Structure 1
């Protein structure tokens, strides 16, 4: 099977009779990709390109803050899991098998983007592999796949050194080249202690490069407990000393959930002081990042799908709302205020990951809207219903 083409996108001028966040029915008028008015249902002037929302629940477009759109085999025949189950084993297996599957390529990335859109995602922060084998080909493929949406889908790229930073000569040079591309918001890193075996060296290298080029840092950090916390502390220190405030994100960060409460409290306070953020894919069988403690400390937080149907794992649907459900269920969240907070993290409160200060169903915001058949946001989270309509930048991207 080939990649699905981008949708035939249609600009609309008004969504009629929708219920933002489960409130009273309204009309949402939009122009040039921006919400221009939110008025009681039936009060907006009659336009030429309207959509009747039939009283459906309206949410802001879903934000996928941690994806890998370059790595999936989705759209090809089923690929059986192979190789060794360690991080090193998965890296070797991927390097050996990816070219035969067209990874990376326009076709593979386009298919993943289409699935994300179908699940209501309108903004994506995706890690894209940069190494001595693929160079910048993955970034070029993702750029081309995103360009087909003509700005209606917001795609930000993290140049990601999946095979390590220091142990492969030339990777730092490739990251520097990637950082000059307009599509690249950040450079990545990966387990400095266990992959490069040099936590200070890797963290110094990527933070110095980010400071020099003006991009951010978004590092995969799986190392547990005190080892992981030590690397978080290094990142906080470098963010402070190199002027990287609000430009460092820690993906996964399992260590934060594994620390003693007093150590975690101090670490979160230090992270908040320099604006270090976190993203999670809500992994099963591991403690979840503590939402109440993150909020209390002021550490911004968001959800992502990680890799889906790739050479690392056959799992994944591309539904970030499903990841939010997984997080809430695994964390034992049941009260309305907590469930609502999780939905906001998947939408409004997660928009920092794509550089937005405002992302909501309000006048002046980008016209990213998702309609679902649900009573309220909590109902939408626990049932994860089909997305009835997806609008990105005022253009229809998907209709169920």
Structure 2
């Protein structure tokens, strides 16, 4: 990784009309035909006629997939692309621990690093794309210190991909909603500026007013017709109480299917019967969850979420930021961590995790369909792997990344 702020990769997505000889989900080899950024046909390689296989072609719109495994583009359902110091000199961990301590440290240092800014955001977006990501839901800090500057920087960095990389924004009040007068007004301004979601953070322990924060954030979302994505780190019964509060307000305001709980550590910490009741309530309210597969904590139960109808997305969280020096931008790596930490070993569970990171993550970026099928947006990633389970446990390099029918990254 370069340590120069000048060495930011500049995207130059090139359109493709045909990706030859790939194996969607590890199945039989097909040619993927693309027009206007959409998959128009999947034709079996076995059915090709000799005249359909030209030799010596240099057509830049035709890509040889070499029989590689093809998966839908990776969906990063929980990122913070405005915070990263990727591409800058190494930043030593400092400040105090805990959520409030990290907030204070970040506020004290971010201006020195030019965060938020277009250049560091572009650097971390390029790293995510290199790892196969074609769609991102990112939280972007909105507070009294930066106003909407972070939202503007993220949009400018994403615009360089000319729509081939989807980046949806959550206006995120990292420093609290109610305890900082004026933040709620900024969130309304962000909604008017077109962000897709509004966020919140630990209503009980940050604002110390769970009813007030939940009412304010969900009420704002209902008023502006946008989604909600709420960070919730509070454990066990305290966290469960707040999730129940969110579920009740979701139903009252008609926000079913538009609310997400990020992290939600409490869900994995509850007794079995209590967790089952809570998940059933969340499923009924259409509340989704995202996880970054935190180490040293119990993982969200993939089968129980599915049984309750609670959608799950995987994300990288912060990447090399003032909260932690860790992170690579590889959501498939987070999927590996989630599966390994959750002791998932059976094929059906490993495949489910890969789907959460790809096709089943469509909900996180507002898509009804995100898969290697006719009519879907042409987002795909090629890997040298036997099948999706093999790709998960080995996380091999991404050989080719295509977003909306344009090449975003090629290995080598």
TM-score (ref. length: structure 1): 0.98
Q: 2:43 aligns with which of 39, 42, 49?
A: 39
What are the within-5 Å matches in structure 2 for residues 134-283 of structure 1?
134-182=146-194, 184-283=195-294
Residue correspondence of structure 1 range 1-400 to structure 2 within 5 A: 1-2=4-5, 4-41=8-45, 43=48, 48=59, 49-182=61-194, 184-400=195-411
Distance 1:352 1:341 in 2: 15
8 A contact 1:73–1:108 mirrored in 2: yes
Contact 1:131 1:163 in 2 (8 A): yes
1:147-195 Cα offsets, whole Å, 9 max, x none, are 000000000000000000000010000000001123x111000000000
Instruction: Give the C-alpha shift of residue 351 in structure 1.
Output: 1.1
Whole-Å separation in 2 of the counterparts to 1:151 and 1:180: 21
User: Take 2:85 and 2:370, find their aligned partners in 1: how far apart are those partners?
Assistant: 31
- CA deviation digits over 1:226-262, x for unaligned, max 9? 0000000000000000010111100000000001111
- For structure 1, which runs of at least 5 residues remain unmatched after alignment? none
| Residues in 1 aligned to 2:282 and 2:348: alpha-carbon distance in whole angstroms | 25
Report deviation, 1:5: 3.0
2:82–2:115 contact (8 Å) kept in structure 1: yes
| TM-superposed deviation, 1:274 | 1.3
Distance 2:272 2:193 in 1: 41
Contact 2:290–2:313 (Cα < 8 Å) also in 1: yes
Deviation larger for 38-47 or 122-131: 38-47
- Check whether the contact 2:78–2:316 (CA below 8 A) recurs between aligned residues: yes
2:77 and 2:10 map into 1 onto residues whose CA distance is 21
Deviation at residue 210 of structure 1 after TM alignment: 0.6
Secondary structure of the 2:372 match is coil
Q: TM-score, normalised by structure 2?
A: 0.96
Gaps of 5+ in 2: none
Instruction: State the secondary structure of the residue aligned to 2:254.
Output: coil
SS of 1:371's partner is strand
Aligned residue for 1:92, secondary structure, equals helix
Q: Is the 8 A contact 2:222 2:253 kept in 1?
A: yes
Whether the aligned pair in 2 keeps the contact of 1:70 and 1:129 (CA below 8 Å) is yes
Give the whole-Å Cα distance in 2 for the aligned partners of 1:29 and 1:216. 34
